[in-house]
Amino acid sequence: MAQAESALSPTRSRTRHEAGFFAKYWMAYLLVLPAIIVRFAYTIIPLFRTLWLSLTNMSITNPGEFVGLRNYAMLFQDELFINSLGWTFVYTVSATLIETALGLAFAVLLNQKLRGQSTAIFIVMLPWVIAPMLASNVWKLLLYDSTGIFNQTLTMVGLDRIPWLSDPFWARVSVTLVSVWKNVAWVSLIFLAGLRSLPKEVLEAAEVDGAGPFTRFFRVSLPLLQSTTLLILLLRGMGEIQTFEQIYGLTMGGPGTSTRTLALLAYERFFTEFRYGYGSAVNMWLFLFAALVGFYYSWKLYQAAR
């Protein structure tokens, strides 16, 4: 009997501890309950609704019948989907890496104790606060083949015009660079916060040991920014996968289909062709792509925090 009671005592203790925890923090759970309900209503329910639609052949003329995985099988027979998937991957990787590298460089410069630092931070932050569609339309005016300021400047100095938006290669370059211009400010802000939170004792100790500025940065500061870097890669990676307004406003997926991402393809299938089942299948692939990036970097963040 004594052995049985001793075996049950850890379980009882754990139960009492859990009961005490909920009794202590019930008000906190009650306060976050509205946010949980809103998140459930605007995220979880639409996600399952999209999943269900992807398993039907619903369209504007068809109320929809259950077709199982037929839409998903059709995707891999759709050359446009395969091309969009490949371009989404290339665009996401290139834009995220360039934003991260430039953002870190800007943050290091902004972290120096120089005159006019606040003004410089304000100027760097400006692209971030501009609406994506507005920014895209402004850049479109700048990049027009015939009347754009960039090509007019090239012509004035005796150089050939560049088909920024009419050539598939240059259109992809333009889309990527505009995205970098728009988002590098946010990356710089996060890196700047990370740099200013580094322990000064460690940096001072490295300086006392004779480490130069480059050695201190690459051997001390950069390793300490690992969690910050992973967080940026997580958020920007998932953000670039879902980019829609900037590309739609700049090229609308063209010329041809060269800059059409999964987000644009899903929009066209759903809102232009009214193929709700097929468009939902594309959206589910977009969600899976973003979820994989999110799970990977979340796991890396967890490992870095251990």
How many CB atoms are located within 10 Å of the residue 272 CB?
Answer: 9
Q: How many domains does the chain have?
A: 1
Output the CA–CA distances (angstroms, integers) from residue 180 to 83, 93, 98, 220, in the order listed: 22, 12, 7, 27
d(CA 235, CA 219): 25
Write out the H or E segment, with its range, that includes residue 289: helix 276-305
Phi/psi of residue 76, nearest 5 degrees = -80, 0
266 belongs to a structural domain: yes
81 belongs to a structural domain: yes
**pLDDT tens for the 306 residues of the chain, in order:** 444 445 445 555 555 555 555 667 778 888 888 888 888 888 888 899 999 999 999 998 888 899 999 999 999 899 999 999 999 999 999 999 999 999 999 999 988 877 777 888 888 888 888 999 999 999 999 999 888 899 999 999 999 999 999 999 999 999 999 999 999 999 999 999 999 998 888 888 887 888 788 888 888 889 999 999 999 999 999 999 999 999 999 999 989 999 999 999 999 999 999 999 999 999 999 999 999 999 999 999 888 877
122 belongs to a structural domain: yes
Q: What is the CATH number of the domain that holds 253?
A: 1.10.3720.10
**pTM assigned to the model:** 0.86
Phi/psi of residue 143, nearest 5 degrees = -105, 5
6 belongs to a structural domain: no
Q: What is the DSSP letter of 160?
A: P
Show the domain range for 198: 70-305
Among left, alpha and beta (phi > 0; psi -120 to 50; other), residue 161 is beta
159 belongs to a structural domain: yes
62 belongs to a structural domain: no
280 belongs to a structural domain: yes
231 belongs to a structural domain: yes
